[in-house]
Structure 1
Amino acid sequence: MIKDKLTNTQMALQMFAAMVGVGVLSLPSVLVGSAGVDAWLVILLAGGYAVIAVSIMAYLGNRFPGKSIIQYAPLLLGHVLGTCVLLAFLLYFLMFVGTIVRMSADVTKLFLLDLTQVEVIVLGMLVTSTYLILQGVNAIARFNEFIQPLALFALLLVLTQTLRETDFGRLLPVLGDGIQSVLQSFPSVFFSLLGFEILLFLHPFMENPSRGLQSAFLAIGMTVVLYALLTILSIALMGAAEVELIEYPALAIIKSIEVPGSFIERLDSIMMMVWVPFAVTSIVMFHYCASLITSQLLGLQDHRVVSLLYVPIVFLIAVLPRNVLEVEKWSQWTSWLGVGLVSLVPLSMIVAYKWRARRVSST
């Protein structure tokens, strides 16, 4: 019996925390490079795909009350194949944590702690995230419930200051290059939306599991709106050609803001203060899910020992890439693994469930 319970709002914030991470800073540049001024349309398309995926996940969770994918995957796919699927998710979560930690450390070193070694920043992030994980899912939920609205409010407040300089005519023409460029850019943005798959693991923690789909829709909606807003403002302020050349457009548009009276000289520092909680909460959610898989597969009553044991493994994954290009390659491999898992595993399990139900009814 699961003692820790999450409200609908807490579940939505958990998923939002997992989905919003390093993409807040770099996504507009990646998208504009492939889709041009139609980059915001790609985000909406990816959001629609995510809605379909979580609908399947929520359906499976409702068919197996009180159980997560860790329990019903072996039932639907068989013990061997089900265990292999869970191990694939475990590898994906650990790789995702390692790459997010490294990318976050690189950005932090670039903009905040330029004299600090990357390894020290990585260790600091892991210690912070592990401390939260040791307190359990309720403590993580309360932390997200406190920090996410504050960070989101601060970010939106700063972004409103850019509206005076924007030219939304730079977003035209819509679909000027046709629909093909939008479709080709789909994988790039879907990588940044990964994180909603934690519903497969946290669904039984909800006080009202039947409302899990509503929480997922809310989380996806908030993420899509945030990403679309950042992309639209980046293009409207600087133009598609310039956004493509800037690695972190979100920081660039905030740097361009002039505060009357100049009582705040560096608004980009505020952006970094907002971004760090987004990065840390993403790390926490994936690290927690990895610990949950391992502890339940091993039949352990508690996930804490496992989460501690994974710290040196994640640290090693984070520091192994020698430069930004290698980090990007690791991130792409991890993202493709995640896309494959969230696209194929729930769909195959729902087919297995339907086949199993039909077989039972026929006998």
Structure 2
Amino acid sequence: MIKDRLTSPQVTMQLFAAMVGVGVLSLPESVGTKAGTDSWIVIIVSGFLAMLTVALMAYLGNRFPGQSILQYAPILLGKFAGTIVLLAFLLYFLMFVGTVVRISADVTKLFLLDLTPVEVIIIGMLGMSSYLIMHGVNAMARFNEFIQPLTVFLLLLVLTQTIRDTDFGRILPMMGDGIKPLIKAFPTTFFAFLGFEILLFIQPFMEKPAMACKAAWFAIGAALLLYTLITVLSIAVLGAKEVTLVEYPTLTVIKNIEVPGAFIERLDSIMMMVWIPFSVTTIVMFHYCASLISSQLLRLQEHRVITLLLVPVVFLIAVLPRNILEVDEWSKWASWLGAALVSVIPGLLAIVYKWRSKGKNA
């Protein structure tokens, strides 16, 4: 029996926390390389596709009240195939956590803690993640309720200072190179929305599971607006070509801000203070889901012990890449695996459910 309960706004915060992370800094560059001035169009299309996918996930959750994919995947697909699906999700979550932790540690070392070893920063992030997970999903929800609105407010406050340097003519012409660049950029942009799939694992905790779809749509909509705003401002300030020449365009844009009176000299430091909570909350949500899957596969009553046992595994994944190029390659593999799972598994489970329902009614 599930004791912890989440309200619809809390679920919205959880999903938003899982989606918005590294992309806040890197998305304008990664999508701009392929889509140029049309980057914002691809982001909107990817967001709406994510909404359709999450609606299918909510549908499955409502067909199995009080159960997550941990329970109904083996029921629908059989024990063997269901276990394979859960193992694939476990691999995806562990790889994703490992790469996000490494990227977060690298960026933190580069801009804030230049004398601190990356390994120490990684251990600190995993320690914070484990502490929150050990206290249960309600503690995680309360943490996100506090930190997410504050960080989004600070981010928007900083971004408002870029308006004087923007030239929205730089986002034109619209679709000047046709639809081909948009198609090429679509996978990269869809990766930025990965995280909504945790609904498959936390929907049973909801006080009103029927509200799962609406809560998820709010989360994706908020992430869509934030990503679109950041990308449009990056192009409008730097230019479409210049965005592709810097690794973290959002930070570059903020570095160029001049505050009247020099009241604050380094707004990029404030941006880093905003971004670190984004990355930490993403790490927490994926670490938590990996712990749930592991405890289910090992038939454990509690996920807390396995949460700590997964820390060395994630640490190893985080430190294995030797440089930023290898980290990027690992991140792409994790993203492709996640995109494949969210694109195939919910649809497959829904088809099997419909087929079995018809068989029972015949």
Instruction: Give SS of 2:5's match.
Output: coil
Aligned to 1:233: 233
Offset of residue 297 of structure 1: 2.5
Normalised to the residue count of structure 1, the TM-score between the two structures is: 0.99
Aligned to 1:116: 116
CA deviations over 1:5-50 (Å, ceiling 9, x no partner): 0010000000000000111001101111100100000100110110
> Following superposition of structure 1 onto structure 2, how do residues 75-224 of structure 1 map, counting pairs within 5 Å?
75-224=75-224
Letter in 1 for 2:96: F
Please give the residue correspondences for 1:266-285 in structure 2 after superposition, counting only pairs within 5 Å: 266-285=266-285
Q: Distance in 2 between matches of 1:238 and 1:308?
A: 43
Whichever residue aligns with residue 279 of structure 1, its letter is S
1:296 CA displacement: 2.1
What is residue 264 of structure 1 aligned with on the other side?
264
Percent of aligned positions that are identical: 67
What letter is aligned with 1:325?
A: L
Q: In the alignment, which residue of structure 2 is the partner of 1:315?
A: 315
Tell me how far apart the structure 1 counterparts of residues 179 and 188 of structure 2 sit (CA, whole Å). 16
* Corresponding residue of 1:52: 52
Q: CA deviation at 1:299?
A: 2.3
Aligned to 1:35: 35
Q: Which moved more, 1:109-118 or 1:141-150?
A: 109-118
> Which residue does the alignment assign to 1:246?
246
Partner SS, residue 322 of structure 1 = coil
Q: Which residue of 1 aligns with 2:72?
A: 72
Please state whether the residue corresponding to 1:158 is helix, strand or coil: helix
Name structure 2 gaps, 5 residues minimum.
Answer: none
For residues 328-347 of structure 1, the aligned pairs below 5 Å read 328-347=328-347
Residue 12 of structure 1 corresponds to which residue in structure 2? 12
Three-state SS of the structure 2 residue aligned to 1:185 is helix
Deviations for 1:142-183, whole angstroms, at most 9, x for unmatched residues? 000000000000000110111111110111111111111111
> How far did residue 194 of structure 1 move?
0.3
Query: What TM-score do you get using the length of structure 2 for normalisation?
Result: 0.99
Task: Give the whole-Å Cα distance in 2 for the aligned partners of 1:278 and 1:42.
Answer: 22
Q: Distance in 2 between matches of 1:111 and 1:360?
A: 60
Q: What letter is aligned with 1:109?
A: K
> 1:117-150: per-residue Cα shift (whole Å, max 9, x none)?
1111111111111111111000000000000000
Cα RMSD of the aligned pairs, angstroms, is 0.6
User: What CA distance in whole angstroms lies between the structure 2 residues aligned with 1:69 and 1:257?
Assistant: 46
Q: For 1:245, what is the secondary structure of its paired residue?
A: coil
- Alpha-carbon separation, structure 1, partners of 2:2 and 2:176: 52
Instruction: Tell me the CA shift for residue 192 of structure 1.
Output: 1.2
CA separation in 1, counterparts of 2:66 and 2:51? Answer: 23
Q: Extract unaligned runs of 5+ from structure 1.
A: none
Deviation (angstroms), 1:270: 0.3
TM-superposed CA distance for 1:184, in Å, is: 1.1
Query: How many pairs align?
Result: 362
Provide the C-alpha distance between the structure 1 equivalents of 2:190 and 2:235, rounded to a whole number of angstroms.
20
